[in-house]
Structure 1
Amino acid sequence: MGTVTTSEDHLLLSIDQFSESTGDYYLLFRCQSGIIHFSQNTKEVFDLFPQGESRCTLEQWRSIVTAVDLPKLKKLYEELLRGSRTCYTVNYRVRNRLGQTVWINSRGKCFLDASGRPDYVLGRLSVQSSPDRPDGAYHHAALRQELEQLRRAAREGFLLIMGVDNLRSINLKHGREFGDAVVRSLAEGIVDTVGNVEQIFHINGDSFAVVLPGAAADDVVCYFRSIQDKLRGQCTISGGSVPLLDYQVPESSVLIQYAESSLEAAKASGKNRLCFFSPEDYEKKLTALELREDLETAVRRGFAGFSLCYQPQVRSESFDLFGAEALLRFESARRGTVPPGEFIPILEESGLIYQVGLWVLQCALEQCRIWRAQFPSFHISVNMSYMQLYRAEIETDVLRILKASGLPGDALTIEVTESMQLQDYQHLNTIFSAWKQEGIGISVDDFGTGYSSLSWLKELTVDEIKIDRCFVSGVQNSAYNLRLISNMIELADSCHIRVCCEGVETPEELLALERLHPTLYQGSLFATPSVPDSFAHHYRSRQDLLRLSNAGQAAQYGQGTLEDASYFSPEKAELESALLDATEDILSLCDMQTHEIYYLNQAGQRLYGLRDYRGQKCYKVFRGMDTPCAFCPNEHLRQDSFYVWEDHNDYCGRHFLLKDKLLLLKGKKLRMEVAVDITKREYISQTTRERLEFAQTVAGYVEALARQTDYRHAVDQVLKSVGEFYRADRAYLFEPSPLHPGHWDNTFEWCDHQVLPQREHLQNVPPNALERWMRLFEQQRSILIYNLEPLQKTSPLEWQTLHQQGIQRLIAVPLLDNSQVIGFIGVDNPRRSIHDDSQARVLASFLVTRFRLEKAQQ
């Protein structure tokens, strides 16, 4: 192979010294002789060379390069030898003596001799036997090249792409190292099943492509199931596959797109499955992409193509117009009218829903302001996407638009869909609280169709539920749906929540629902969604609806009046007519002798959770008592004036202003009572309750900090209180190190049960580890970390410090004395109030006061 010169001896000695000190592998290629020399440690790697050899000719090296990668390597060395290229980075595969495929990554530089000709190439090697680590971009290029060769040769077969399901969740739950191991397991499972590593390509972080020439569809299924079995118990995988020759495509990259589209379809349809390419599904996807472009263009052009329709909502008692729901419509220049069920999901996926949603809110409020000139109490409902609710600025943006409209908050209801992830009560209640303080109502749309149970109504503070059309449709013929709606209304009434039945389309449905007494109706029976100009024309008048209702009731009872259906016949009909426009005050009529309830309006039925009050005793219904009330006001009642008194009703937990009067009707003495709820109407969200609880907890420790002579004991008590409040793993105090200026010591620490203390490992923390924290602390800002992973790239030293302690979430607040940071309190892995640093800040301010006291006494 030629004689090694003295200069070569020096170079070879140098690369061996480099390899010994770094552990890397090096090569030296002499351009004139065509010999490649490798560092001595390369001999032991994956049996690349015959035993004892550490050099070969360029032709010998090329002979073990795979056919797919050989043209690329030939071109590289031709350019190096011509001098047209000096630096390079290349990935390729070779076959070792055992027939195994080995991945080579090489980076190097060509050096010139005195005459300017290429003299030698010095390069560093990375050698791997697993197909799951090389550069993804290279693999796409190699995959395209391999597919092109098969297509030119008219080889039938399949391209199969497989990916790990829920890798992000796996990383969050078990750590990124575990997730990387899962990806490696998939690669190894593919190698074991397919056998030929040259057919396997790593195309992105969690997905691998396999080329299966000569395979049939059944073979692809067998391959996929075999790999599934190998990974069972560790993870699930999804797959997408496309035949190599069935579709006439201009280039191989289109086949890759087809397979990737099939993989996406498998994941979207439930994961852990294999989908073959469907031209129809792919066409739908392309159509969705075109629609997204149209939507983006419409938003850029000032929401051109978007419009609003309005559907009336009417009161069930009187059929008076309550308000309307604003419904978004879109007209595409390319496709014409697009159904909301098609374009709204794309708005959400693309993030455009936020801008469009604010435009809808602004337009709907403006229309409401116009209609209020005719209907002073007109009310507007606007839908809001879950994606909008999780934008940090949504709270203030809604309030800003409301203020600009000039309308009071109680003119607006925000509708959210129950199928959203509404279980994040804390986040949503924080937003809802701010809106409700301005009078804005919160409604849950499509109630009964989502994932949550009825119990969350008590956790998520809402004002209205809208029972979905799927329950209302044909309700007169379904005892099950009738009973289900009745239970929903009863639960809502017990929680003082308004109920709207939507999708009411026939008189028969209306008649069945009237027996259940919801608050509002909405549906095509009253009006179809229409543009503002034709809104009044489409809406049935109150008189038409009353006639419709009375006709339906007459048909049910076989009479032209309600006499046979009423509890006390004509009296009830007269009273219902007289009280048709009653307010939300509770109105009741009771027999003064028998104490039987003759009438109780809907407000009273909702408060006391009562549907059928016929024959019930007033003291039982209103007080939960078995005998008449000792303080019954009957003896004070007169016909010509009201008897006014106050009562705190422990049975229903309300405070009333009561107005009672004697009413003579058909020879009967009745007590007519109007109960005005004067309980302080204060909305207390979950977050507010937590703060109240915290305030009560802190009150005891304020005294401890002020009077406790043992300073250390006082600080321990404070940290314990904050740690228990946040339900955290640890709460701790850091102070400047007295021995190393600029460094920080963990001086106090509280740990939850079974949590390992970290204090002894957190002494003398260097300034660079807390550089970001100090910058924010000096601005009087807190550190709020909801997910540790993003810090791995942006602040690797901070990430490493926190990761080693098992921290995924964190709150840290500064202790400031005259704007100088004198310490900070930290809370690790809080399980509640994770978005709220105010509690920790309160304790920090108390500690600063105590620090000053300690300093004054020294």
Structure 2
Amino acid sequence: MDLFSGKESKCGLKDWLGIVAPMDLPKLKRLFQDLLEGEMRYFNVNYRIRDRYGNRIWINSRARCYSGEDGRPDYVLGRLTRQTKVGNASGAYHHDGLMQTLSRYRSEGLDGFLMAISVDGLERINVKCGRAFGDAVIKSLAESMAAAIHNVELVFRTSGDCYCALLPTIDQADAERYFETVQRELRDQCTISGGAVSIQTYQVPESYILLQYAESALDTAKLRGKNRLCFFSPQDYERKLATIELQEELEAAVRAEFKGFSIQFQAQVRSESFDLYGAEALLRFDSPRRGAIQPAEFIPVLEDSELICPVGLWVLRQGLEQCRQWRRTHPRFHLSVNMSYAQLRQPEIQSDVLRILRESGVPGNALTIEVTESMELKDYPHLNTIFREWKKEGIQISVDDFGTGYSSLGWLKELAIDEIKIDRCFVSGIQNSAYNLRLLSNMMELADSCQIRVCCEGVEKLEELSALSRLRPALYQGYYFARPCTPEAFADNILNGRFDPPKLAVAAEPACAGQVPLAMEGLEHDLLNETEEIIAICDIKTYEICYLNPSGQNTYGVRDYLGQKCHKVFYGMDSPCPFCTNRELRQDTFLVREEWNEYCSRHLLLKEKLLREHGGRLRLSVGTDITKGEFVSQRTQERLAFSQKVVQYVETLSRQRDFGHAVLQALAAVGEFYKADRAYLFERNPVQEDHWDNTYEWCDCNVAPMKDNLQGVPPEGIQRWMELFSRDQSVVIYNLEPLRRNWPVEWRDLSMQGIQRLIAVPFREEGRLVGFIGVDNPRYSIEDDAQIRLLAYFLAMRRQRDRDEHRR
């Protein structure tokens, strides 16, 4: 291999480790440690070294450890081989050999298992580490499978990254141990998934069906999270076959001009009058074999196969045609149509929707397009481009299933949307949950502030409707009003009918309206409204609430509280509380007590006393939420320190004339705030655009600086960081160890610097990423990146100011 200069014929372990690639060195050291501790007797590993000219080459090391009489490791005997291109050289046979051998086993009555194993995320490995590394991983898999058990006859390569092993005369426990052995051999290179099937248990007519069973079990392992072994399940296989058959039926239906598809309509009702607002068009499918198929079963198949694209446009076209007919007698009728992310990815979707709308003759303001929150709403710049063109025609945008996906409330201000639909999971049983009421109240307040309409769907019971009426959404939808039905049934029973206003459990004329607590003004009113304490005033005789400040409204999830019973709002009870303290109240002193309120999931400290107003008797309650007292105390201290640091940043960056000195002082301030080891600013290398330089660094006392060692940092070690920064997200590491498996280069680089925790944020100028600011090993406020983001903002402003002054 021409590794060393001169004529050396041997080298020591230290010399050998000196030419091993740094990223493979930890793996090799752990291997030697396992040998010394007797954890393994045999190894087969691929890694990289450099020859005497600096060229990187792959080698394979295969050896066995031998022990002395005392059982301790004595010596290792093996060989080192330079790797060649992975292919047949892996020693694995191919599909035909597997079928022949498997047929022989079956005819001879040999029992055992057929196991299929593949590398998890091979494509990601190829992109991250290079195809040569990926090929070496595949070869390692084949060799590890061949060496993991003494009686494995042959290893067969059935696809690019999938190998099969025939394991004769073993039981299921042995098969599991075999997989774990292979898994352990490859733990430093990749994770693997496996599927296994008994050779004789399932009497199949052809051997290739057993291979299908093993691959089906492998697919199940990957669907359940990867890095695991699953055994063949006939039930899973039948479900998979049913899905394949359903997809074929759906494809045939699309080719046959959408035969078997139909649309049903579910009414949407205005909350203030219970008049019909419009309807949502819902897709249905009748299978020629199985009859009606539930949407939860066939819609995911449509989306996975992208058949949803032509079917979705068909639904839009049919729904608009029906809407056009109904608007002849109901001119304000409104139609909602669902659209999946697969449709929105199509380059023609923007023009297709506008073309179908214009052909229908229906005005754009009669159409709402619903997108699900579980789709990638974070792709909002692309979505907004489409939405804005549609909105020019009057089309409205709604986010369906709101609160169940990944977008968070913050995306509302970024997306050009008109409506959110609160999912059924929040509405169900809401009359018994102050927590859900409070959550919905917050959602609706945010929507109101963004001028976004709210529709509560899944309303099935009068009690749910009564509870929701306190929150005043714009629209209702659900079985309480109407189930989805055919166009004919909708026209006969709903379009030409009327929804009678329900008898809601809300008092129309509060008994205590007009009493003094409702007429509070000025400073007294402001103090009660602004305090974080819960302030409630109730009529002792009628149990009706006369006043509840905003803090109490948020805690109990209620807006229209006047005249409602205190035991219903505060405890969810239909009758007065058995532990009511009204009889114990005094006018001259507070009754103080603690309680855990199960209804709102809060630990409260309550102070209550008697009030007398206009001859009536009222109960004044002052509640303090002590559920998270320690956390609140800590956050209060952090907020105070935060505000002090804001002033310090501004003074530092405005007072210092030299930008470099200003940066160092600001880094010192942020490092001291977080009680960190280091604070630093990285900027792009002026020569290599994708490399990074540590340009400014502050270190705490007795902490070694790293600035000189961190120049020209290559992109491999911070690839994950760049992905997060591109989405304007921060890098927050609480524990370094989880990075070891999935991001070994990042783990190695950080561990070499003694870093266990870290916060880093992007540094942008005019929207372009020019660097990042971070702190190492923060010991204070470790869950909050706001300080560093604030510093990045001030630094960008300061640099822009310097440039403006330079131009002048």
Instruction: Name the CA distance, whole Å, in 2 between partners of 1:356 and 1:204.
Output: 34
How far apart are 1:182 and its partner, in Å?
Answer: 2.8
How far apart are 1:188 and its partner, in Å?
Answer: 3.1
Q: How far does the alpha carbon of each residue in 1:589-632 deviate from its partner, in whole angstroms, 9 at most, with x for none?
A: x999x9999xxxxxxx9xxx995699xxxxxxxxxxxxxxxxxx
2:509 alignment counterpart: 563
Q: In the alignment, residue 563 of structure 1 is paired with which amino acid? A: E
2:405 alignment counterpart: 450
Instruction: Name the CA distance, whole Å, in 1 between partners of 2:169 and 2:269.
Output: 67
Instruction: Name the CA distance, whole Å, in 2 between partners of 1:433 and 1:356.
Output: 24
Instruction: Decide whether the 8 Å contact of 2:93 with 2:154 is kept in 1.
Output: no
Instruction: Decide whether the 8 Å contact of 1:527 with 1:538 is kept in 2.
Output: no
How far apart are 1:136 and its partner, in Å?
Answer: 12
2:317 alignment counterpart: 362
SS at match of 2:285: strand
Q: In the alignment, residue 115 of structure 2 is paired with which amino acid? A: L
SS at match of 1:357: helix
Gap change, CA 1:213 and 1:398, over 3 Å in 2: same
Instruction: Decide whether the 8 Å contact of 1:299 with 1:356 is kept in 2.
Output: yes
Gap change, CA 1:310 and 1:349, over 3 Å in 2: same
Instruction: Decide whether the 8 Å contact of 2:141 with 2:182 is kept in 1.
Output: yes
| 2:190 counterpart (228, 235, 259) | 235
SS at match of 1:485: helix
1:701 alignment counterpart: none
Instruction: Name the CA distance, whole Å, in 1 between partners of 2:450 and 2:126.
Output: 41
Mapped pair 1:517 → 2:472: yes
Q: In the alignment, residue 403 of structure 2 is paired with which amino acid? A: G
| 2:343 counterpart (363, 368, 388) | 388
Instruction: Decide whether the 8 Å contact of 1:228 with 1:236 is kept in 2.
Output: yes
2:364 alignment counterpart: 409
How far apart are 1:284 and its partner, in Å?
Answer: 1.2
Gap change, CA 1:170 and 1:519, over 3 Å in 2: farther
SS at match of 1:363: helix
Residues 306-315 or 263-272, more deviating: 263-272
Instruction: Decide whether the 8 Å contact of 1:263 with 1:274 is kept in 2.
Output: yes
- What are the residue-to-residue correspondences of 1:666-815 with 2, within 5 Å? 751=689, 754=692
SS at match of 2:510: helix
Mapped pair 1:199 → 2:154: yes
Instruction: Decide whether the 8 Å contact of 1:314 with 1:521 is kept in 2.
Output: yes
Instruction: Decide whether the 8 Å contact of 1:503 with 1:523 is kept in 2.
Output: yes
Instruction: Decide whether the 8 Å contact of 1:418 with 1:447 is kept in 2.
Output: yes
Which structure 1 segments of 5+ residues have no match? 1-97, 99-126, 573-589, 598-604, 615-727, 732-748, 757-785, 787-829, 833-858
| 1:438 counterpart (393, 400, 404) | 393
| 2:328 counterpart (373, 392, 398) | 373
2:275 alignment counterpart: 320
Instruction: Name the CA distance, whole Å, in 1 between partners of 2:334 and 2:684.
Output: 47
| 1:422 counterpart (349, 362, 377) | 377
Q: How far does the alpha carbon of each residue in 1:353-391 deviate from its partner, in whole angstroms, 9 at most, with x for none?
A: 111111001001111111111221211111111111111
Mapped pair 1:158 → 2:113: yes
Gap change, CA 1:750 and 1:412, over 3 Å in 2: farther
Instruction: Decide whether the 8 Å contact of 2:438 with 2:558 is kept in 1.
Output: no
Gap change, CA 1:536 and 1:144, over 3 Å in 2: same
Q: How far does the alpha carbon of each residue in 1:279-300 deviate from its partner, in whole angstroms, 9 at most, with x for none?
A: 1111111111111111111111
Instruction: Name the CA distance, whole Å, in 2 between partners of 1:173 and 1:498.
Output: 45
Instruction: Name the CA distance, whole Å, in 1 between partners of 2:156 and 2:85.
Output: 11
1:843 alignment counterpart: none
| 1:465 counterpart (416, 420, 425) | 420
Instruction: Name the CA distance, whole Å, in 1 between partners of 2:345 and 2:244.
Output: 24
2:460 alignment counterpart: 505
Instruction: Decide whether the 8 Å contact of 2:192 with 2:228 is kept in 1.
Output: yes
Q: How far does the alpha carbon of each residue in 1:2-56 deviate from its partner, in whole angstroms, 9 at most, with x for none?
A: xxxxxxxxxxxxxxxxxxxxxxxxxxxxxxxxxxxxxxxxxxxxxxxxxxxxxxx
Instruction: Name the CA distance, whole Å, in 1 between partners of 2:216 and 2:185.
Output: 25
Instruction: Decide whether the 8 Å contact of 1:466 with 1:500 is kept in 2.
Output: yes
Instruction: Name the CA distance, whole Å, in 2 between partners of 1:540 and 1:361.
Output: 20
- What are the residue-to-residue correspondences of 1:541-560 with 2, within 5 Å? 544-546=499-501, 548=502, 551-553=503-505, 557=507
2:227 alignment counterpart: 272
Instruction: Name the CA distance, whole Å, in 1 between partners of 2:315 and 2:128.
Output: 39
| 1:247 counterpart (194, 202, 208) | 202
Instruction: Decide whether the 8 Å contact of 1:465 with 1:500 is kept in 2.
Output: yes
How far apart are 1:132 and its partner, in Å?
Answer: 5.4
1:495 alignment counterpart: 450
Instruction: Decide whether the 8 Å contact of 1:306 with 1:330 is kept in 2.
Output: yes
Instruction: Decide whether the 8 Å contact of 1:137 with 1:203 is kept in 2.
Output: no
SS at match of 2:325: helix
1:780 alignment counterpart: none
Mapped pair 1:286 → 2:221: no
Q: How far does the alpha carbon of each residue in 1:829-849 deviate from its partner, in whole angstroms, 9 at most, with x for none?
A: x989xxxxxxxxxxxxxxxxx
Q: How far does the alpha carbon of each residue in 1:157-202 deviate from its partner, in whole angstroms, 9 at most, with x for none?
A: 0001011122223333343333333323322332331356752111
Q: In terms of Rg, which structure is larger?
A: 1
Residues 177-186 or 441-450, more deviating: 177-186
Gap change, CA 1:457 and 1:228, over 3 Å in 2: farther
How far apart are 1:433 and its partner, in Å?
Answer: 2.1
Instruction: Name the CA distance, whole Å, in 2 between partners of 1:540 and 1:510.
Output: 22
Instruction: Name the CA distance, whole Å, in 1 between partners of 2:84 and 2:153.
Output: 12
Instruction: Decide whether the 8 Å contact of 1:399 with 1:435 is kept in 2.
Output: yes
SS at match of 2:692: coil
Q: How far does the alpha carbon of each residue in 1:535-579 deviate from its partner, in whole angstroms, 9 at most, with x for none?
A: 144439886432x1xx223xx54xxxx11268469xx9xxxxxxx
Instruction: Name the CA distance, whole Å, in 1 between partners of 2:367 and 2:420.
Output: 15
How far apart are 1:143 and its partner, in Å?
Answer: 0.7
1:351 alignment counterpart: 306
Instruction: Decide whether the 8 Å contact of 2:373 with 2:401 is kept in 1.
Output: yes
Instruction: Decide whether the 8 Å contact of 1:501 with 1:522 is kept in 2.
Output: yes
- What are the residue-to-residue correspondences of 1:523-542 with 2, within 5 Å? 523-539=478-494
Instruction: Name the CA distance, whole Å, in 2 between partners of 1:729 and 1:184.
Output: 38
Instruction: Name the CA distance, whole Å, in 2 between partners of 1:152 and 1:595.
Output: 90
Instruction: Decide whether the 8 Å contact of 1:526 with 1:540 is kept in 2.
Output: no
Instruction: Name the CA distance, whole Å, in 1 between partners of 2:379 and 2:499.
Output: 44
Gap change, CA 1:471 and 1:176, over 3 Å in 2: same
How far apart are 1:467 and its partner, in Å?
Answer: 0.8
- Kindly indicate whether structure 1 or structure 2 has the higher relative contact order, using CA contacts under 8 Å at least 6 residues apart: 2
State the identity %.
Answer: 58
Instruction: Decide whether the 8 Å contact of 1:131 with 1:201 is kept in 2.
Output: no
Instruction: Name the CA distance, whole Å, in 2 between partners of 1:197 and 1:131.
Output: 21
Q: How far does the alpha carbon of each residue in 1:213-241 deviate from its partner, in whole angstroms, 9 at most, with x for none?
A: 11111111111122222222432211111
Mapped pair 1:307 → 2:262: yes
Gap change, CA 1:218 and 1:138, over 3 Å in 2: closer
Q: In the alignment, residue 754 of structure 1 is paired with which amino acid? A: W
Gap change, CA 1:174 and 1:490, over 3 Å in 2: farther
Mapped pair 1:189 → 2:129: no
How far apart are 1:325 and its partner, in Å?
Answer: 0.4
Instruction: Name the CA distance, whole Å, in 2 between partners of 1:234 and 1:350.
Output: 33
Instruction: Decide whether the 8 Å contact of 1:133 with 1:202 is kept in 2.
Output: no
Which structure 2 segments of 5+ residues have no match? 1-62, 64-81, 530-552, 563-682, 695-725, 727-767, 771-808
Instruction: Name the CA distance, whole Å, in 2 between partners of 1:566 and 1:132.
Output: 85
C-alpha RMSD of matched pairs (Å): 3.9
Q: Give the alignment's TM-score, normalised by structure 2.
A: 0.54
Gap change, CA 1:729 and 1:387, over 3 Å in 2: farther
Instruction: Decide whether the 8 Å contact of 2:90 with 2:139 is kept in 1.
Output: no
